[in-house]
Structure 1
Amino acid sequence: MDSRNEMTSISDLCNEVKVTAQKLLNHYVKVQGLAISQMLRKSVETRDWLNTIEPRNVRAVMKRVVEDITAIDSQVGQLYEEGVRKERSSDSSRRAHSYSASQQRRGQWAFTPSIDNSLISNIQKLFSEKIEIFSAVEFSKVSVLTGIVKISLKTFMECVRLRIFGRYGLQQIQVDTNYLQIHLWGFVSDENLVQCLLDEIVCSLRLFPLHFGKMPHLNFGNFAS
């Protein structure tokens, strides 16, 4: 009812319901994204990345992230339809190989003493795809999961930017991000979005130069499971 005691029109009522539903969905995505972000934040802040040991496996928190997102995917799938995905440009094995190769190239750049790491990072960002993290969410499972993944990975990136990494710290992040790339692409609307955010995470690392000599080749296949 309005101020003149007239009945609210059906169209106005539908618009109000639509706006409220959109706000609730946006809030749900933000809350779920921040819950996963909190796990990632603690995992970064509680570790000595400068003096950490050589990586033997993917960190447990990364497996927990994938498990939680899988559970959210199942819950949201009971309410919403799948939604629209961009067609994959390649199969998963080729994609994983391409990502591993890009990680290795970044590793080679990072360990060249004559190159300023911050300068390299800024140059690479110029060519990165601009991604809106808190964009509006559509009423579909893919859109909801895409929003949650974007918030989580953006938080991960902001956390690692505040730390200084040694040789093995960098290798551990490479192992972790490779694991996330393999397992998260299937939840989002565009696999390139996950690739772009994970690339930016690795490019954001601040490295302690005295820890780096000739880097051994990382076989990401040993950490994929």
Structure 2
Amino acid sequence: MRGVPGTRLCLDYETATISYILTLTDEQFLVQDQSPVTPVSTLCAEARETARRLLTHYVKVQGLVISQMLRKSVETRDWLSTLEPRNVRAVMKRVVEDTTAIDVQVGLLYEEGVRKAQSSDSSKRTFSVYSSSRQQGRYAPSYTPSAPMDTNLLSNIQKLFSERIDVFSPVEFNKVSVLTGIIKISLKTLLECVRLRTFGRYGLQQVQVDCHFLQLYLWRFVADEELVHLLLDEVVASAALRCPDPVPMEPSVVEVICERG
């Protein structure tokens, strides 16, 4: 947490401390020398820029920590021969726990920030490979995974949607912005890792369960819940594209597994 207190300290310097120290110095030492000195505005601007850089670095580091967990969990599993899912994988629970801890710690130093109005109760949103209109078209009965042209076209469309998200967008000095940045980095890493694996039917279903679990909890931390929905939709869609037998699990079963988890 060294990065967050450091940014808070620099912001305090900008808003009050620098002016106070300079005024106190003038009064205590009766400074008469009128030679050019660095303006207060310049010092304050430098303090704010330092705070911004520290906070951006903190977001990248925390995003990397969670990303490494997700990457290892994807790369070390045999997704072709995995068993039918009965539980949420432990790594997903750890991601939620770590994100919650960051949320609490950052909240001690920064204001909440602005969130977009929620259009629905996201905690009850049913998540599956059919959770968006794009997936409905992508996995319609007429879709044949063995057709190279269709696969390439759908892959390019998928890439277009996922790359429109600016993962390293500027971080603002509030809790929502910090958590949004960390979650974007983490889920983008998960998406890229899934794109490099091949999944069996049950492997795809495990991804479906894991993503639904993440969606249940992560949406409340970000500025716009659709960001989480979009990225997790793309994770499941990518797994389905990489699956020779893409048969999704029934949404009701997914919900029961996640509630139990």
Per the normalisation by structure 1, the TM-score is 0.87
User: Which residue, 239, 242, 250 being the options, matches 1:207?
Assistant: 242
Q: Unaligned 5+ residue runs, structure 1?
A: none
Q: Classify 1:43/1:23 alpha carbon distance in 2 versus 1 (closer, same or farther; 3 Å).
A: same
- In the alignment, is residue 45 of structure 1 matched against residue 75 of structure 2? yes
Which structure has more relative contact order (CA 8 Å, sep 6+)? It is 1
Q: Determine the C-alpha separation between the residues in 2 that align with 1:161 and 1:12.
A: 47
Matches within 5 A, 1:1-225: 6-94=36-124, 96-97=125-126, 99-100=127-128, 101-102=130-131, 105=136, 108-109=139-140, 112-113=144-145, 116-126=150-160, 130-205=164-239, 206-209=241-244, 212=245, 217-218=250-251, 219-225=253-259
- Aligned AA for 1:12? T
Cα shift at 1:220:
1.8
Sequence identity (%)? 64
Cα shift at 1:7:
1.7
Q: Unaligned 5+ residue runs, structure 2?
A: 1-34
Q: Is the 8 A contact 1:129 1:196 kept in 2?
A: no
- Aligned AA for 2:173? F
Q: What is the number of residues matched between the two proteins?
A: 217
Q: Determine the C-alpha separation between the residues in 1 that align with 2:60 and 2:246.
A: 41
Per the normalisation by structure 2, the TM-score is 0.76
- Give 4+ residue runs of structure 1 displaced > 6 Å after superposition: none
Q: Is the 8 A contact 2:85 2:202 kept in 1?
A: yes
- Aligned AA for 1:22? R
Q: Is the 8 A contact 2:204 2:246 kept in 1?
A: no
Q: Which deviations, in whole Å up to 9, do the C-alpha atoms of 1:65-118 show, x marking residues without a partner?
A: 000000000000000000000000111355x12x33417848844974565444
Q: Report which of the two structures shows the higher radius of gyration computed on alpha carbons.
A: 2
Moved more, 184-193 or 105-114: 105-114
